[in-house]
Amino acid sequence: MFRSLLFVPGNNPSMLQNADIFAADAIIFDLEDSVDITEKDNARQLVKHYLDDAVNHPSFIVVRVNPVDTEWFASDIELIQTNKVDFILLPKADVDSLNVLEEKLNDLENKYQLNPIKVLALTETTKSIIEVYKIAKHCRVEGILLGAEDLASELEIDRTNQGSEISFARSRVIFASTACQIIPIDTPNTNIEDEQNLLEDCLIAKSMGMKAKTAIHPSQLEIINKIFSPSQKEINWAKGVLKEQEKNIGKGAFSYQGKMIDKPLITKANNILKKASQYNIKR
């Protein structure tokens, strides 16, 4: 579905105007944390005008609303009068808040004859990490984004470059998402000046099973897209496996490069090539 999602503050007209030119697979128009409380109405208005008037749009549009228990949520969700929004990103998501959102979305879909709106759940509290499987099973939820900064704040711990303090939370999000066949999305890297740290952070997240990562600056997208795309080595392996499979029709298992290949690895090979094709990776 996507490898990279870029946060764009809803009150930044220049970034809104240019949202479609960045290399993000999805743009998250943010009405929450990157927007000061004095700017909430302004941001909502600007995003509304963007949705109404912009000529060019990114591949996927996500709107991060304010949490359901805030005074801004009701107005934020009223933006959903158009099919241009693909996903709502719900902050401080848990099962209860998802149910509140579900009810609102049902009303809006009926009222404005909209296609079903999908939801990305932002799990950023200890409670949501504990009940992440229930969140993942929710009918609206198509992806789970780990929010490590709020989580670290609640836990009263410091974030580190290595990220070992969020390993448990990452694993919970990855396992729950994978079990429910939705996409696990990694927390953004806030060191926007440190490309090496971003690279290492992406490699760790990918090795654990994350399938995408959020960015807070467009300059992070190139590295994120590179890491979360199939590598040349993976593509070569996948092509080799499928070629070998053609030679071994009717066999449940066969050998490739000295290793046994059976159904799960053939599925993996197909997925790699599907992803390479989806992201237009020509190698």
In angstroms, what is the minimal distance from the CB of 67 to other proteins?
28
Residues 45-84 that bind other proteins (CB under 8 A): 55-56
55 vs 260, beta carbon nearer other proteins: 55
Do residues 46 and 30 lie in contact, with contact meaning Cβ atoms separated by under 8 Å?
A: no
Contact between 14 and other proteins by CB under 8 A: the answer reads yes
Q: Which residue among 2, 22, 228, 256 contacts other proteins (CB under 8 A)?
A: 22
Sole window of 11-19, 128-136, 201-209, 235-243 interacting with other proteins (rule: CB under 8 A): 11-19
Contact between 167 and other proteins by CB under 8 A: the answer reads no
Contact between 218 and other proteins by CB under 8 A: the answer reads yes
Nearest alpha-carbon partner for 228 in 262, 189, 260: 189
Do residues 34 and 9 lie in contact, with contact meaning Cβ atoms separated by under 8 Å?
A: yes
Contact between 38 and other proteins by CB under 8 A: the answer reads no
- CA gap 147, 188 in Å, rounded: 8
Contact between 160 and other proteins by CB under 8 A: the answer reads no
State residue 112 phi and psi, 5-degree precision: -105, 10
Contact between 91 and other proteins by CB under 8 A: the answer reads no
Handedness of CA 197, 202, 208, 212 (dihedral sign): positive
- CA gap 258, 269 in Å, rounded: 16
In angstroms, what is the minimal distance from the CB of 160 to other proteins?
24
2 vs 22, beta carbon nearer other proteins: 22
Cα torsion at 171, 177, 181, 183 (round to 10°)? Answer: -100
Phi-psi region of 181 (alpha: psi -120 to 50; beta: other; left: phi over 0): left
- CA gap 159, 35 in Å, rounded: 22
14 vs 207, beta carbon nearer other proteins: 14
DSSP 239: H
Do residues 58 and 32 lie in contact, with contact meaning Cβ atoms separated by under 8 Å?
A: no
**Residue that is written with structure tokens 């009068």 in the block:** 81
141 vs 221, beta carbon nearer other proteins: 221
| Interface pattern 114-143 for other proteins (x via CB under 8 A) | ------------------------------
Strand (E) or helix (H) holding 188 = none
In angstroms, what is the minimal distance from the CB of 14 to other proteins?
7
Handedness of CA 88, 90, 94, 97 (dihedral sign): negative
Q: Which residue among 21, 37, 157, 203 contacts other proteins (CB under 8 A)?
A: 21
Sole window of 17-25, 30-38, 116-124, 200-208 interacting with other proteins (rule: CB under 8 A): 17-25
Contact between 17 and other proteins by CB under 8 A: the answer reads yes
In angstroms, what is the minimal distance from the CB of 55 to other proteins?
5
Residues lying near other proteins in the complex (CB under 8 A): 14-15, 17-18, 21-22, 55-56, 217-219, 222
